[in-house]
Amino acid sequence: MADRHPTRQLSEDEWIVLLDVYQTHRGEPLSAKHPAIVKASETLNALGERDGRRSGPNFRSPSGLQRQITTFKYLDPEYQSADHKVPPLAEKVWTRFSNDPRNCRITADAVRAKAEGR
């Protein structure tokens, strides 16, 4: 069944930015007020506007993104816990970049530049 709210689903580019935040701040408590989470929210909101996906004032809020970043803990062998359903795109991004944080950063920086219109 197709999602009736496709803007709620994170895109691959969005997951890449979140994985970069996760890898950069691994082991730190990442609250919704953490500067990296706030910056990611700003970036993904700008990207959503550019792509025509932004659907309101709570689109890609820091608190929502903080919860999404937790998804990577379910995939991370260092933290892996009980079975959780992981979005396929999150798993794809994890598989591609979890062992290559440098390339993740390069790709995330390209997404950030796109969001800024560069």
Q: Which residue is it, tokens 């990611």?
A: 40
Which pTM value belongs to this model? 0.88
Q: How far apart are CA 111 and CA 26, in angstroms?
A: 21
In angstroms, the CA 49 to CA 29 distance is 29
Asked whether the beta carbons of 90 and 11 are under 8 A apart, the reply is: no
CB within 8 A of 19, min separation 6: which ones? 72, 93, 94, 97, 98, 104, 108
Per-residue confidence in pLDDT tens, the chain, 118 aa: 344 444 578 999 999 999 999 999 988 889 999 999 999 999 999 898 887 776 677 789 999 999 999 899 889 988 766 677 889 999 999 999 999 999 999 999 999 999 988 7
Three-state secondary structure call for residue 75: helix
